[in-house]
Chain A
Amino acid sequence: MTGAPAMIRPMSLSMAALAQLMPMYLWLSLTGVILAAGPTLCKVLGRDPAGQGLPDHFLIRRPADLLPGGDFTRLSGCRVQMQLRHPPATLLRGLAVPLEDGAGLLFNLSFGIGVAEAVRIHALTDSDFAPTDLAVEMLYMAEANSAVMQELHGLNRRLQRAKAAAEQQALTDTLTGLANRRAMEQAVDRLLQTGTDFGLAQVDLDFFKQVNDTLGHAAGDHVLHEVARVLCDETRTGDVVARVGGDEFVLIFPGVSRMEGIAAIAERIIDRLSRPIGYAGRECRISASIGMTLSRLYPQPRLDRMLGDADRALYLSKMHGRGRATAFSRNMATDPEPPAIVSGGAGPDAQPVTLGTLSTLEAKKP
């Protein structure tokens, strides 16, 4: 760097060059009269606004306190926001700079984020934008983005369907990891097909709703995990432990033909589930009511009938104070006493035949 900076001649520019460089320029006199406008701005306005007042065509949104007919020199050097006075009221933003010798203000305007809408409404093309303007890239982005989103939506739909199909085929209860109803049904199907004797117990938690209501669903979930653990602990390898409802479980005991075998397990389960379960410093108190039946009781055992009968016995456990196990017996099937359940599926053909010595067993309430 040597000496003084060279004198730079003031730059002048033809109107045509200005229009190429900034197709949305606006030249405003200091009194607020539009002296000229770029070709794209003319297209947006639908006419050449030269000679008319700025407020005839635009509302100034920023600076907010500039009144129509106000001092336009205040816009000098300002970021401005303007809106077409007439529909479609397109928003424009830009900058105004002062020209030499009081020749007025020169605005360079653009559409900002509303460019896609402006292109649509005013039917703009590539040649309406300066090559430096990223408007077209912005439109490209928006379109590419929507194409990619469409692919993603498609992928999500396919994944959703695959997930639903997988759930349809799943055999596990996702919360507890126990077997679900489908798995239990399949296990019973196998036993029925091979003619294997088995015992069935319906387990229903007592006071579980209170745990959920007072301590929240996280506590409820914790209790369900604990129950699942106890049920697995107290049953034998090869028994099926299934969660078939919110707080309902079904146990299947393959090879069991005597009620005493299940009753002992039921008693242990009730005993353990009656102990408080700790959760986050609080105690969750539940218990279990159980109803039991045996495939041996039926000439042609069927799962729905056995579930109905076990449910009947379970109902009696609840009636008699909860925290107990009841074995199904013929008396129950004929006894109309629990009306809520009689409708559950025990027609005359639902009655067990081999009754003999069986009667209601009640596990002692601890």
Chain B
Amino acid sequence: MHGLINRSIQSFLRDTYGTSLWTRTVLEARLGFDNFEAMLVYEDAITDAVLDAAARQLRRPREALLEDLGTYLVSHPHFESLRRLLRFGGSAFVDFLHSLDELPGRARLAVPDLDIPRFQLRPDGANRFRLDCHDGRPGYGHVMVGILRAMADDYGALVVLEHLGGQDGAEVIGIELLAADYAQGRPFALSTAGRPA
């Protein structure tokens, strides 16, 4: 698993639950180191061990933890750059949903060896969609539910999201868009001028 993903899991656990939880997770997962490097690649089993250890420490289902991870990635100030990169997907939440098909390509533009799942958005009635996540590690769908929830907030849209389980090897997410302009949303300008570097 790419170090970027491992490091975001580490940041999520540390920022949300504190350093001691991270230290206990490291020990239980028998990492042998206490810091993931974002630009290195690690064995997939290491990522699984960290997630399982953290879920046990927190006595929470792994799925719930992954969904919180997704929300954290979009909403935490440490990951403002990721939120911005996602907002480049479109000027409204619906445009953003349609841009998800391009997400693996966008990710590879930024980091050529970063593999993320293939997404396919299918209309499912008026203002309803199904998002299929293909070729991902199990659980990616839950991370995506968290990301979509936080991005809807970011755009000021009101949505209902549901992880519908696996189907033909893909994880399926049900999306219902109740209101595109429900709230103000967070500002986004193409140019970063005026923001602290």
Q: Mark A188-204, 1 if CB is under 8 A from B, else 0.
A: 00000000000000000
B19 is an interface residue with CB less than 8 A from chain A: no
Q: Mark A3-32, 1 if CB is under 8 A from B, else 0.
A: 000000000000000000000000000000
A141 is an interface residue with CB less than 8 A from chain B: yes
Known pairs A140-B106, A145-B110; A124 contacts B37 (CB<8 A): no
A168 is an interface residue with CB less than 8 A from chain B: no
Q: What is the distance, in angstroms, from A43's C-beta to the closest C-beta of chain B?
A: 13
Within 8 A of A (CB), among B1-53: 4, 37-39
Residues in B whose Cβ lies below 8 Å from that of A353: none
Give chain B's interface secondary structure class: loop
The answer to whether A144 and B193 have CB atoms under 8 Å apart is no
B192 is an interface residue with CB less than 8 A from chain A: yes
Within 8 A of B (CB), among A108-127: 116, 119-120, 123-127
Residues in B whose Cβ lies below 8 Å from that of A116: 191
Partner of A136 from B4, B37, B190, B192 at Cβ < 8 Å: B190
Q: Which of A46-54, A74-82, A147-155, A336-344 contacts B (4 or more CB under 8 A)?
A: A147-155
Q: Which of B84-92, B135-143, B160-168, B174-182 contacts A (4 or more CB under 8 A)?
A: B84-92
Residues in A whose Cβ lies below 8 Å from that of B111: 144, 148
B109 is an interface residue with CB less than 8 A from chain A: yes
A133 is an interface residue with CB less than 8 A from chain B: no
A304 is an interface residue with CB less than 8 A from chain B: no
Partner of B88 from A127, A140, A145, A148 at Cβ < 8 Å: A140
The answer to whether B191 and A123 have CB atoms under 8 Å apart is yes
Known pairs A120-B191, A124-B190, A125-B189; A139 contacts B37 (CB<8 A): no
**CA–CA, A137 to B109, complex, Å?**
10
The answer to whether A155 and B84 have CB atoms under 8 Å apart is no
The answer to whether B38 and A141 have CB atoms under 8 Å apart is no
Smallest CB-CB A-B distances: 7 pairs: A144-B110, A120-B191, A140-B88, A126-B91, A147-B81, A120-B193, A151-B38
Interfacial residues, chain A to chain B (CB-CB below 8 A) = 116, 119-120, 123-127, 136-137, 139-141, 143-145, 147-148, 150-152, 154-155, 158
5 contacts between A and B (CB under 8 A): A126-B190, A137-B88, A141-B110, A148-B110, A151-B4
